[in-house]
Amino acid sequence: MPVHLECTEKTAVIRFDNPPANSLSATVLKELRSKLKELQLKITAGEIRAVVITGTGPKFFIAGADISRFPELDSKGGYELAREGQVIFEELSCLPCATIAAINGYALGGGMELAMACDIRLASANAQLGQPEINLGLIPGYGGTQRLTRLAGTGIAKELIFTGRNISAEEALRIGIINRVVTEGEVLDEALKLAKSIAGKPPLALRAAKEAIDKGLEMTLAMGVEAEAKHFGDLFSTEDQKEGARAFLEKRKPQFKGI
């Protein structure tokens, strides 16, 4: 199988294994969507609270789309291909838990777009990121023009998309695309540590925080802070909030149950 799902201790790992470059073939996209649906059920059941996504091997996270499909496509086929990837990446983005990209190598084209659909991105020191679609006479089609702009700003997004150049993990950190650069070979371990830390937090509050941030980007400031206040107030009706307050006052570690 080109996409593997491993679950343990309320943490899941999605691992791409499609040699030689972990490209996003039609089969890989189909498998990814299947794994996301499986994860959605596990998250709803309270079995999973954080998800890590990575690639197999030291060289490639995901090197992009399966370009061998491109010569045969017309405008309709190209549109349908873009929408297919966009829908799947939006399903990833909307998972009601934290998602972390452990970028273990090249993350190009659709690979960079998939990483940007995650909440948090850690990159190995040897990683390279880029949106090289312009070199094929194309633009990013799986959300790259939108997510890159929101992460790094209009000027940076235009430069990277117009030139198609790759950037190092250090440059990606400097311009705000990734959260942290990790020693080569250790990025998955660091991502799992972070995932386990997040998985120990109250899941209803995490879900509310993610929704407030993501939905707030689509609102005016006034609407966003109103939505924040609504989430804030709703959390006072949860048992986890009461447990968190009691644990703080009693100077002990809280036991969150997701209720």
Catalytic residues: 113, 133
* Residue 258 CA from chain centroid, whole number: 22
Strand partners, 106: 60, 128
**Could you report how far apart the first and last alpha carbons of the chain are, in Å?**
36
> 137-150: string of b/e by CB count within 10 Å (b at 16+)?
ebebbbbbbebbee
Structure tokens at 39: 């994860």
Quick one: residue 202, left, alpha or beta (phi over 0 = left, psi -120 to 50 = alpha)? beta
Strand partners, 60: 106
